[in-house]
Each structure stands twice: as C-alpha cells, then as structure tokens.
Chains A and B, each alone.
Chain A
Amino acid sequence: MADPGTRSASARGTREPVVVSGIAVRSAAGSGPAALLARVCAGDAAFEPVTRFDTAQRRTTVAATMPGDPVLVDELAAVIEDACAEARLDPDPRADTPMLLAAHADRTNRATADVLARRTGLRTPARTYTAACVAATSAAADAATMIAAGRIDRAVVAAGYLVDPDTFALFDAGRTLARDGHVRPFSTGRQGMLLGDAAVAVVLESAAGAERRHVPSLARLAGWGRSGDAYHVCQPRPDGTGLARAIDAAIAQAGVAPAQIGYVNANGTGTVYSDRAESAALHRALGPDVRRIPVSSTKSVHGHALEASGLLELVLTVLALRAGRLPVNAGYLGPDDACELDVVVDEERATDTRYALTINAAFGGANTALLVGAP
C-alpha cells in the first residue's frame, strides 16, 4: 500500500527537509539517551577489563562493554522498538517503513535482518551496510537522500557492534588499541583506540511527515556529505583534503556558514596519525572559525563502536544540541601541536548553538559528515 505521506520532492526540484523523530541507544556508557549524555558530559570513561572473553594473550585487555553477554539482534530489536516508540511509529506506519542496518560483514547479516523485520514489523532491509566506521553514517545518508528526494517518507536506521574476541584480537594484532587503557583524542601521549559496545536506532523522517503525524522533531539532519581519500588502504590522507570535502558538502547542503556551527563531535579515535589528519581536515573545511568551535570525541568515553560508531555519535550530537551541553573529550593530557583545536576538556560546556557537525572516517579513505540543526 502506498504511504499517503509520500510525495515527489525531487520532481518539484526541491529537497524535502529531513528530521530526527526518534532515537534510542544502548552502550557501556549508558543505556538510554539521558544516561549516555550525562556520562559523556562528565567525561567518565567506560573502559573496564574485558570479562566477556579471554584477553590474556592480548597487549590490551580493556574495552567498554555492557554487562553480561548481550546478543546483537536482541539489542538492536530493543533500540528499534524504543526509537519507534519515541517517533510514535505504531504497527501500521511501520509496515511501510524501510529499515537500514549497519553491522559487521558476516554470514549472519541476512538472518539478523530477517529476525529484526519480523520482531519490529518494519520492512526487511535490502542490505546491511558494512563499511567499517562509516557504515552507519552511510546508511543514514542513504536514508536521508531517499527522504529528501521524496522516494520514502521515513526510515529507521539501526546499527550495532558488540565487542567480540575476533575483532578484539585483530585490532590488538594491528597495534591500534591503547595499552594504557585510555582513549585520548587530540591529546599528547595518545596511544590509540579502544573498542566499545553500542546498539543504536534513529528514526529519520520528512519534516512534513512528522508534522502530519504530530510527532515532535528532535533535530534536523540539515546536511550530509561523503567523500573518499583516494590515498591508502588504511591510513587517512594526512592533509585532510578527503574528509574536508565531506564536511564541505554537508555544510553546503545545509546552506550554513562555518560561523554558525557551534560544536563538532569528532571522529577522534585517539590514534596519532588519524587525529592529526582529522584536525587538518577541520582547519581546511572550517577555516578560521575552527579556533572557536568546541570539539570533542566521545569515543574517549564510550569507545569505538566500529560499524555503529557513526550512529552513536549522531545521537550524541542531537542530544548535545538539544540539551545545550557539550560532552567532554576525556583522557586529555595536553595539546598536540598538530591538533590545534578548541578541545572540550575537564568539564562540559554550555552552548546555545543551533548547528553541530559529526564526522567519521574509515579504512579505505571513506569519510562522512552529518550536519545537525536544532528543530
């Protein structure tokens, strides 16, 4: 059955404004938006010794893991239900609402998608997005593209990663995990990243559709940009030009100037060369304004949730904007001359900004930028 809310925006040569009408999250740093925001604003890192599996042979033994032994499909079903509840997506509109999933590429992708569609009543996805640290933001950008063009009226984007022994061993073997047990983005003395659990769901919707359904908009997804570095298998382009193009595209699509942006939720993995490249990208894209825009990487608190990281950080960007509270970049020891940014350290900051940016970068030189606006 055709969705009565669907229309042809692109046929009119316009972009349908896209809003966020529901969010839900589970992570080691807090399950539920309020708990998570409180923890990242306190800069209270969630890293603990891993008990889910044996780490005795690893160089690093900590991660941000939720209690017990959570199952990904259960966690995803739970956050999708919560996000749909906030967006007041009852069973009828759900049947015509597509689901876009992001998760690690493996043999269970199809089964996970089928189970989620059956449990939640949403339309079975066409695919799982697997592009590592930009998987979830790629899914969000595709959902937003379809909504903006009038091809669909709403979508549920969900992403999950739970710390597992195989990935932990791979990242440990690649010497990317911080041996001191802290993620210190943009800081002197940073040693690398740490992994973290997350299951996240976001309902994206046309502004007109949300209004028709009398559902409040939590935020606007004002712009999105994507680019590639064309540089290396796993390292970012050092001058940041690739990521800067993604940021440029998001800003241009939103029709805002860098001067209007009041917060950047950075990719900030805590890796020496990655943070430097990201800093270069921010300088390149935001110009002189970068010196007054507060920046923090909440990975310093919740860890790197890989395929789910971008959606987790989108949710935090929405929450920060709504609450006027900017999260702390935990673990900061002091400035790195190659990362000249206004990093939020020691304590949270208050803001009344109406625009915030969240950026992500992945292996293969894949970059995304999402510009979030106050409703």
Chain B
Amino acid sequence: MVKLIAALMMTLALVAHAEADLDKRAAALEEELRCLVCQNQTIADSHAGLASDLRREVREQLAQGKSEQEVLDFMVQRYGDFVLYRPPVKSTTWLLWFGPFLLLAAGALLLASRLRAARARAAEAPPSEEALQRARALLDNHKEQP
C-alpha cells in the first residue's frame, strides 16, 4: 500500500514537472508571436479571441512533442513573417537589419571626408600676414589682462 502511494505520488510529481516545463516553453514561445488583431502586442499579452486560440494551438502542439521551431513554422505558414516579433534575416529584410549600419557607415565616411578636406585646406593656404598679426595682437592682449 505504501509503495503504491509512493509510486502514485512519484507519477503525480513527474506529471506536474512536465506540466510546469510545458508552461514555461509555451510562455516563452507566446512572447515571440505577434497578435494580428492588436498588432503591438504578443499573443501572451493580448486578450483578443484570436490570441487565446493561438495560445491554445501553441500549447497543444508543444504537448504533442513538436519543437519550438516547428510551432513557429506553423504560424509563419499561415500568417506570414509578420507574426514573428523578430523578423528573419532574408533578402527582403536585409535593409531592415543592416540599414542602420549602412547609415552609420555613410555618416562615418562623410565625417572622414569632411575632416580630410578641412585639413587639406589648412595645409594649402597658410594664414596671411594680416591674420597672423591679428592673432598675435589678440594673444598679447590676453596676456596683459589678468
């Protein structure tokens, strides 16, 4: 009798553990999927009817032993890449992923060319005698004042 109870409790504990594990995996996946009814929410956050249907779908498929990737593929097949909160890197999304770096590089190039041009201008044309005199006068003036 004691053995039976122990075995029963063991099974219950295992089931509970598996349940908790499934909950965690489902919750993590639900954070990755966009609710298409209220587009700025994940299906985990949304109370829309569709979101709860999709949560049910996620849980059922994980419980059937499908991998996370398989569930995501299922959703993308039906709703497109838009359902993913993290868009995949592919030819149509290169601009989205690499555009900011492109802008950064363009900015750096522009800055470098400007600096080089300014330096070249300074080297080409030495200050005129008049300008030097004015600069000297300003410096002298500055020395006397304090």
Partners in one complex: no
